[in-house]
Amino acid sequence: IEQLCRQGVLYRDGNRGTFIAPHAERTPPMVEKPSQERQRVLFLDSVYESANVRPVQKAFHLEDHQRLFRMVRLVLDGDTPLRVEEIYTLPETAMDKGLNELESFFQLDQIRSSGQSRWDLHAALIPPKYSRLLEVRQGTPVICRREQIRSSDGSLFLYINTWLHPDNVRITSSTMPFAAPVHP
């Protein structure tokens, strides 16, 4: 938390507590700069009955035994890790696109522009499974963004957990879609 306060991601208000800083108060490492972002898909799978996916199942109105399609990918700027994204959707939605179209299916900026995006931020400790990918120590404080993207008819299309690198993250439409019509 101290590291996130020094970076301007969080701020302390006396005895009231620690809060996420408004966008205008972020420090230079957090501002957008030209990047050469590339994505590396780590795995695709089908998940269910896990404590980690219960909030996602609930968002999709699924029972514990019903499966979700999940893509986990690492987003890099050159060789610098920026974030890990866990992208969930219904299996039939992903399979309708076919494996050849999955890469274009998960172009989040395009999907956000055609639907409705709602997200929130949470201070969290980096999960051990992602600490090595982001090249940070286990237990490092990070910001996790949880986002729901709904189609034009209001149905949940994608649920995304994004684990942002505490030092390398920048504000872009991919990390914090401020430019799109969103509701924090």
Contacts of 132 (CB under 8 A, 6+ apart): none
pLDDT at 106 (0 to 100): 67
pLDDT tens across 55-80, in order?
999 999 998 888 999 989 999 998 89
Structure tokens at 88: 């969930």
Amino acid at 84: V
Q: How far apart are CA 95 and CA 102, in angstroms?
A: 9
Output the domain CATH number for residue 94: 3.40.1410.10
Q: Which two tokens stand for residue 81?
A: 């890790």
What is the model's pLDDT at position 41? Answer: 84
Gap between the Cα atoms of 183 and 118, Å rounded: 5
User: What is the count of structural domains for the chain?
Assistant: 1
Instruction: Note the pLDDT tens digit of each residue in 22-32.
Output: 753 444 444 44
29 found inside a domain = no
The answer to whether 81 touches 74, Cβ cutoff 8 Å, is: yes
Whole-angstrom distance, CA of residue 140 vs CA of residue 89:
28
C-alpha 5/C-alpha 169 separation (Å) is 14
Q: Token digits for 40?
A: 């590396």
Q: Which domain holds residue 49?
A: 36-183
In a domain, 27, yes or no: no
* Low-confidence residues of the chain: pLDDT under 70: 23-35, 96-106, 169-184
Report the 10 Å Cβ neighbour count for 83: 27
Give the other-Cβ count within 10 Å of 98's Cβ: 9
Beta bridge partners of 72: 43, 86
Q: Report d(CA 165, CA 172) in Å as an integer.
A: 14
From residue 175, give the alpha-carbon distance in Å to each of 31, 95, 158, 168: 11, 26, 15, 11
The pLDDT value given to residue 27: 44
Inside any domain, residue 141: yes
- Cβ atoms of residues 182 and 48 within 8 Å: no
On whether residue 23 sits in a domain, the answer given is no
Q: Is 18 part of a structural domain of the chain?
A: no
Q: What is the largest CA-CA distance in the chain?
A: 54
Look at residue 90 and tell me if it is in a domain: yes
pTM: 0.71
19 lies in some domain: no
Residue 15 belongs to some domain of the structure: no
